[in-house]
A and B are shown apart, each in its own frame.
Chain A
Amino acid sequence: DIQMTQSPSSLSASVGDRVTITCQASQDISNYLNWYQQKPGKAPKLLIYDASNLETGVPSRFSGSGSGTDFTFTISSLQPEDIATYYCQQYDNLPRVTFGGGTKVEIK
């Protein structure tokens, strides 16, 4: 099974800060990686697909990069509405998927 190691597990940043989250796969997954945002009591929402593509309607301050085993998710300027938990998800062998452990983003 492919394991996804996501870090940090939580972070606190100020409004306007640049926030970076990393995700490492236990084996090469090419660009088969998605990033989701989950707010309390809600289902996850797709932000980034295929590692670096912004989902329609998602603000451009969100971005993703990487391929192979190492991936990065960035919020270029943190906004109050970005408070949420973010998950990476690999889909190298559909429909089997694995999620990272999540990163809880808070405002300092």
Chain B
Amino acid sequence: QLQLQESGPGLVKPSETLSLTCTVSGGSISSSSYYWGWIRQPPGKGLEWIGSIYYSGSTYYNPSLKSRVTISVDTSKNQFSLKLSSVTAADTAVYYCARRGIAAARWEDYWGQGTLVTVSS
């Protein structure tokens, strides 16, 4: 059974960089059939796609966040990571990592449990 688990600081200061890692277990991140992505949800609000990465390292970002986002993959550790720079209180959210199919099953079929990141001094 595939599992995804987010990890990283739960509290980040304004103007600093938010860093999260998603560890994939029970399957390989190097599959050619999937994208690996980050989605966030501010408290009491809706879902926002942040960006995705392919195992080869190709990245795709939400245009509204593109200037501040970097997603990377480490296939040797079966992990992918998110960095969001210059954070403000508006970046306070539950951050989910998820797997999405490319050809068949073009949806998020596995999600992490989500991790709350609060931006506050």
Contacts and interface: CB of A to CB of B under 8 A. Distances in A.
A44 B47 contact: yes
B112 A43 contact: yes
Interface in A71-108: 87, 89, 91, 94-102
Contact of A43 (B52, B63, B96, B100): B96
Interface stretch (B16-24, B25-33, B81-89, B102-110): B102-110
Contacts of A49: 105-107
B62 A34 contact: no
Contacts of B113: 43
Given A43-B111, A49-B107, A98 B49 contact: yes
Contacts of B108: 44, 46
A99 B107 contact: no
B114 A43 contact: yes
B47 A94 contact: no
Contacts of B48: 99
Contacts, number: 52
B106 A94 contact: yes
Interface string B37-59: 10000000011110010000000
Contacts of A95: 35, 37, 52, 60, 100, 102
Given A43-B96, A49-B106, A94-B102, A99 B37 contact: no
Contacts of A102: 46-47
Nearest to B102: A94
A43 B111 CA distance: 7
Contacts of B102: 94-95
Interface in A29-84: 32, 34, 38, 43-44, 46, 49-50
Given A95-B100, A96-B49, A46 B109 contact: yes
A46 B107 contact: yes
Given A43-B114, A46-B107, A94-B35, A99 B52 contact: no
Contacts of A100: 46
Given A46-B109, A94-B100, 5 more contacts: A44-B47, A46-B107, A49-B106, A50-B106, A100-B46
